Structure 1
Amino acid sequence: MTYAEILSHIYALGRFGIKPGLERISRLMAALGDPQKNLPAVHVVGTNGKGSTASFLSSILTTAGYRTGLFTSPHLISFTERIRIDGREISEDSVVHLAQRVMAAAPPDTTFFEMITALAVLYFAEEGVDIAVFEAGMGGSRDATNILDGLLTVITPVALDHVEYLGADVPEIAAEKASICKPGTPLVSARQVSSAGEAIAAKAAGIGATLYRCGSDFDACWKAGKLEYRGVGVTLHEVVPGLHGRYQSCNAATALAAAEVLSGIGFPLERAALVGGVENASWPGRMEMFDGEPRILLDGAHNPAGAEALADALAEIPRGKLVMVIGVMADKDREPLLSALLPLADLVVTVSPALERALPAAELAESCRRQGAAVEIGGSVAGGVERARELAGADGLVVICGSLFTVGEARGHLLSRPFEAFRG
């Protein structure tokens, strides 16, 4: 099978939807020889900031000299972004070779996420990584990544998500996400709303997991544009994170604390690796700046929390005119997102990403006008980006946001790379 045929097959598994449980993935891994049993791993779960936190942590480990795997989802442009070793994407040839083995061993009803989790585990195991950082899907005891016996669990800020599977409110969701933590292993938590923090603490106490909490056991703040970190046992000054945005202080602090904990359980890390890893981290599509005239900023803000974080970050970016390119999915509540972002824009260009779920650009334009924004309909993502460039002027700033689909398609256009419109 070719790479394109492999992708067509595994993307088609999306028809099975979300099917929590470890039965299928357990059978699949057993058929592959259980490669997960000898793979040291870190679980990263939560609602917001998982990708950034995982990127910071994997960068720290790579900087320290550990051969480090990183599994994340979704991708922005290409499937290969999901599986990396020391920052390098898996090759298409490796995808073909490994996916054929995984497909041959998979039960008939294996889901897309189970398939790619197995592929990542097999790749990392056979490539001999020292440690792998796995961003969970939904998180929780029934998440496919729970097939791994994690050395450490990291929980990023928890909010309402996947309520039909995880729980009816934030405390229930936090408790379920935390249940991926193995008894007696450490747990590092980002700053949480009080109800989530209490639920996580109760779960940790119930399984004998040592809990490290942002705000009490470690923390970070900005000082003169640089990060000050007060850690579990280390203090760092004047760190310049590779990921931009003031909200990254929480993600960087959580990753640094996780690295400190790992240092005490078999993965020693020097101070230089902590600083260098944070400063060298990259995470495409999240406050990612393309220099030029005008500058173009990509950010995957697609929910109210993300929009507020983007708005906060934009307040510190000098600019002329701000032209915002927005494209959203029809099945998402767009009004809170627009309320946070539209007041910042001098002009909005609405676009419609190239997939069925996308809201038509004209309909989105009407929503923007109702909130008082000056709007132009851009149509396609590529057309909207080029029109926004014209409107912004040389000293302006073009901000592309609203959906990871919008950001991914725009990034593909800017880099002249084919865009694979699948999330999963």
Structure 2
Amino acid sequence: MDIRSATAFLYALKPRGIRFGLEATRHTLERLGHPERTLQVIHVAGSKGKGSTCAFLDAVLRAAGHRVGFFSSPHLQHFRERFRIDGEPVSDSAIERAMPRLLQDGLGLDPAEVERFVQGEDLVRRMHGPGWYTERGAASRWTTLTFFECTTVLALLLFAEAGVRFAVMETGMGGRLDATNVLSPEVCVITPIQLEHTRWLGDTLEKIATEKAGIIKPGVPVISARQAPEAAAVIAATAERQQAPLWMMGRDFFAEGDFQRASFVAGGPRVGPLRLPLVGAHQVENAACAVACVPWLRRTGAIIPDSAVAQGLTQARWPGRFERFGPNGLIILDGAHTPDSAVALARCFREVFGPRRTRLLLGMLADKEAAGIVAPLAPLACEIHLTRPADVRGRDPSTLRSLAGPDARVHVSVPSAMEALATDTASPLLVTGSLTVVGEARAWLLARGVLPTES
């Protein structure tokens, strides 16, 4: 089964929000001989900063000489980006080798029959069609596992077969009933919690925090970022109930400075001052949570010198998050797609560029809170440009004109917008509103040899 057929089958399963639960994932891992038991897991949940915190952890552990797997979602350009080993996405061939084992040994399916189904249903072609998102679910006649459950198991297979020691695992949604919660971690991390995915996680901060804190296991250390009082109370109560040591930022570990000169103290000597490659005050807190994991990982026998902590923090990369391109770094890609993340992006832009204005290219999915995203970003802009992501859920950009102003220019696609805007390198261009838009813009830049700016 080649990579196109493999991804078509996985994407034809029900999406992750359809069913929460752990038993199906546990059963599949049991059939596979428990590949997860060969890994030392760091499990990360939260509403914002999960990916960046994971990226810092991944970089620190690699700097210490360990082989590391990093599972995250969604991807920007390629499905294989969800599975990173030693800092690089796995190869197509690695996925092609792992899929038959997932299908045959894990799910009890005949890979040849699944391949015939993919071809007969024309899934490879259909997955690129405009109606694909609404058509998903055809492959669920073969298995009760959802897309996210299968990709979680696939990650564990890939990491185990590659001889990874540490697996940095980011939850998909929530925590308590997320597929990744079948794991027995060395450390749990909970990044800042906000109101999100209220349809599935609950409509109050306490309810959402209860789901996120569901990753806390008996006796397993917990690292928590600064939280709203309601969320902090839930995390503390859960940790106490599970008899899990709890480190809270600002009480048990600390950070000082900004991303250009940050220092950290977490159960050992001060690390820093140093410059973080990920931009913004919030990245200092994300890095602090990664640093706070180190003393607990050392207790498992892992050798992680302070020098490796500093080196890893300065080498972390997280594509599509205030990622700067071009020789002067004036093209900025950021996947902000919620009001809170838009506020953080506006703050980051001012930290780096001061009062300078930018051309703003904005595109988003139809279910996002457009007014809350546009409001903090519009004051940064000297020009506003609107476009539609290449996703059936993409919002008609003309509907944003009432928020962006009558002078906003509409582009039919992200590539056409980049063609019009990215050749002007004299003024900043900020591309945001959706990870899909950022992924398209990133692909356009890389195809033309425009590379990320070195920090």
Give yes or no for contact 2:414–2:437 (8 Å, CA) kept in 1.
Answer: yes
**Does residue 441 of structure 2 align to residue 406 of structure 1?**
no
Give yes or no for contact 1:322–1:397 (8 Å, CA) kept in 2.
Answer: yes
Identity rate, percent: 38
Give yes or no for contact 2:276–2:314 (8 Å, CA) kept in 1.
Answer: yes
**Does residue 290 of structure 2 align to residue 255 of structure 1?**
yes
Q: CA deviation at 1:71?
A: 0.5
Report the AA paired with residue 212 of structure 1.
Answer: W
User: Alignment partner for residue 349 of structure 1, among 381, 385, 392?
Assistant: 385
Deviations 1:290-331 (A, max 9, x none): 024672100111111111111111112238651011001111
For 1:370-381, what aligned pairs fall within 5 Å after superposition? 374-381=407-414
Specify every segment of 5 or more residues in structure 1 that has no aligned partner in the other structure, as ranges: 418-424
Distance in 2 separating the partners of 1:360 and 1:223: 38
Q: Which residue of 2 aligns with 1:157?
A: 192
TM-score (normalised: structure 2) = 0.87
Distance in 1 separating the partners of 2:38 and 2:259: 44
Q: Which residue of 2 aligns with 1:78?
A: 78
Report the AA paired with residue 358 of structure 1.
Answer: G
Report the AA paired with residue 151 of structure 1.
Answer: E
Distance in 2 separating the partners of 1:294 and 1:135: 29
Q: CA deviation at 1:108?
A: 1.3
Give yes or no for contact 2:258–2:281 (8 Å, CA) kept in 1.
Answer: no
Flag the 1:41–1:294 CA change in 2: closer, same or farther, 3 A: closer
Distance in 1 separating the partners of 2:35 and 2:259: 47
Report the AA paired with residue 12 of structure 2.
Answer: A
Range moving further from structure 2, 68-77 or 380-389: 380-389
**Does residue 24 of structure 2 align to residue 24 of structure 1?**
yes
Q: CA deviation at 1:239?
A: 1.2
Give yes or no for contact 1:71–1:120 (8 Å, CA) kept in 2.
Answer: yes
Q: Which residue of 1 aligns with 2:232?
A: 197
User: Alignment partner for residue 300 of structure 2, among 253, 261, 265?
Assistant: 265
Give yes or no for contact 1:294–1:395 (8 Å, CA) kept in 2.
Answer: no
Q: Which residue of 2 aligns with 1:422?
A: none
Give yes or no for contact 1:54–1:135 (8 Å, CA) kept in 2.
Answer: yes
**Does residue 372 of structure 2 align to residue 336 of structure 1?**
yes
Give yes or no for contact 1:150–1:181 (8 Å, CA) kept in 2.
Answer: no
Range moving further from structure 2, 30-39 or 4-13: 30-39
Q: Which residue of 2 aligns with 1:65?
A: 65
Q: CA deviation at 1:47?
A: 0.5
Q: Which residue of 1 aligns with 2:132?
A: none
Partner SS for 1:132: strand
Partner SS for 2:215: coil
User: Alignment partner for residue 212 of structure 1, among 229, 247, 252?
Assistant: 247
Distance in 2 separating the partners of 1:210 and 1:233: 17
For 1:97-246, what aligned pairs fall within 5 Å after superposition? 97-104=97-104, 105-106=106-107, 108-222=143-257, 225-246=260-281
Distance in 2 separating the partners of 1:384 and 1:224: 31
Q: CA deviation at 1:97?
A: 1.3
Q: CA deviation at 1:17?
A: 4.3
Report the AA paired with residue 420 of structure 2.
Answer: R
Distance in 1 separating the partners of 2:396 and 2:203: 31
Distance in 2 separating the partners of 1:274 and 1:69: 17
Q: CA deviation at 1:284?
A: 0.2
Distance in 1 separating the partners of 2:225 and 2:267: 13
Give yes or no for contact 1:243–1:282 (8 Å, CA) kept in 2.
Answer: yes
Specify every segment of 5 or more residues in structure 2 that has no aligned partner in the other structure, as ranges: 108-141, 449-455
Distance in 2 separating the partners of 1:223 and 1:152: 26
Distance in 2 separating the partners of 1:259 and 1:34: 26
Q: Which residue of 2 aligns with 1:362?
A: 398
Q: CA deviation at 1:16?
A: 6.9
Q: CA deviation at 1:260?
A: 2.6
Give yes or no for contact 1:60–1:277 (8 Å, CA) kept in 2.
Answer: yes
Q: CA deviation at 1:64?
A: 0.3
Give yes or no for contact 1:103–1:115 (8 Å, CA) kept in 2.
Answer: no
Give yes or no for contact 2:224–2:289 (8 Å, CA) kept in 1.
Answer: yes
TM-score (normalised: structure 1) = 0.93
Distance in 2 separating the partners of 1:260 and 1:18: 38
Give yes or no for contact 2:357–2:380 (8 Å, CA) kept in 1.
Answer: no
Q: Which residue of 2 aligns with 1:388?
A: 421
Distance in 2 separating the partners of 1:50 and 1:182: 19
User: Alignment partner for residue 362 of structure 2, among 317, 326, 339?
Assistant: 326
Range moving further from structure 2, 233-242 or 297-306: 233-242
Give yes or no for contact 2:259–2:275 (8 Å, CA) kept in 1.
Answer: no
Distance in 2 separating the partners of 1:251 and 1:232: 17
Give yes or no for contact 2:194–2:205 (8 Å, CA) kept in 1.
Answer: yes
After superposition, the CA RMSD in angstroms is 1.8
Deviations 1:252-302 (A, max 9, x none): 111111123212232231111110010000000001000246721001111
Q: CA deviation at 1:142?
A: 1.3
Distance in 1 separating the partners of 2:258 and 2:74: 33
